[in-house]
Amino acid sequence: MYDFEYHKPGSLADAVKLLSADPDARPISGGQTLLPALKHRLNKPTSVVDLSGIAELRGIKREGNKLVIGALAKHVEVATSPEVKAAIPALAQMAGTIGDTQVRNRGTIGGSVANNDPAADYPSAVLGLNATIVTDKRRIAADDFFQGMFTTALEPGELLVAIEFPIPEKAGYAKMRNPASRYVMAGAFVAKTGGAVRVAINGAGPGVFRQTEMEKALTANWSPDAVAGVKQDADGLNSDIHGSAEYRAHLVTVMAKRAVANAG
């Protein structure tokens, strides 16, 4: 790892100031993605801005028909939060399967969503639940936020502050984990919110995406059988030593079926 300066601002305004003063500064939350990347010398920040002291990024609360989760909420907090378990049990269940105990004790929802790893879990919940990403500058709809592999609508220096999840009638998640890395090979998050059905697929493609044919099938008939007949096109899906695009395409249908069954 190259050396860098370390800052720990006490407010969002101070963090934004530090990041806008230096284009090579990088925010750090749980560090469970950034530190491994820095060890690989994948990038060379001049300074690292630790967000963990910023109260505005904390908290999990229900506001009417929304669940608002602060960027600094750790995976373990989301997994065990009574508010999350009551409002969106599928989200708590997902958080409890991210990485391992120690990763969940440090990693945050803000870091995961800002990073947008194609094999990450949270992006499919954010897209499937039609959540809104709140930053220090604006509000971004999930459909506009994720822009392909490790790319989001966040501008350099823009900070993810919170994520607002509309509370669904039903939601479910299922994933196939890579047996070695335990990251997602293919996952599906299905949700029915205000009568509208969304299906988000993670792991299989270069970024999280909506499976609109499955959305139509589930709108007509909410049941695992309804998605069983929908084949995912393998074109454009990831192909690597862990699995071919065809294999992942097959997994998409299987995971979608399981996700609907999990949603009940």
Partner 1 sequence: MPQVTLTVNGKTSTVDVEGRTLLVELLREKLRLTGTHVGCDTSQCGACVVHVDGESVKACTILALQANGSQVTTIEGLAKPDGTLHPMQEAFREYHALQCGFCTPGMVMSAIDLVQKHPDGMSEKEIREGLEGNLCRCTGYHNIVKAIAAAQEVMHGRAQSLAPAAE
Q: Which residues bind ligand FAD (CB under 6 A)?
A: 26-34, 36, 51, 71, 98-99, 103, 106-108, 110-112, 114-115, 120-122, 154, 159-160, 182-183
Determine the Cα–Cα distance for residues 229 and 259; give it in Å rounded to an integer.
Answer: 15
Site for partner 1 in 186-225 (CB under 8 A): none
Q: Which is nearer to ligand FAD, 112 or 218 (CB)?
A: 112
Question: At its nearest, how many Å lie between partner 1 and the CB of residue 262?
Answer: 17
Q: Which of 48, 73, 120, 256 binds partner 1 (CB under 8 A)?
A: 48
Q: Which of 6, 43, 65, 156 binds partner 1 (CB under 8 A)?
A: 6
φ/ψ of 261, rounded to 5, equals -60, -40
Q: Which is nearer to ligand FAD, 29 or 232 (CB)?
A: 29
Q: Which is nearer to ligand FAD, 51 or 230 (CB)?
A: 51
Choose among ligand FAD, partner 1, none what residue 12 binds, the Cβ cut-off being 5 to 8 Å by kind. none
Question: At its nearest, how many Å lie between ligand FAD and the CB of residue 76?
Answer: 11
50 is an interface residue for partner 1 by CB under 8 A: yes
Q: Write out the residues near partner 1 by the rule CB under 8 A.
A: 1-6, 8, 28, 31-32, 35-36, 38-39, 47-48, 50, 52, 76, 99-103, 105-106, 182
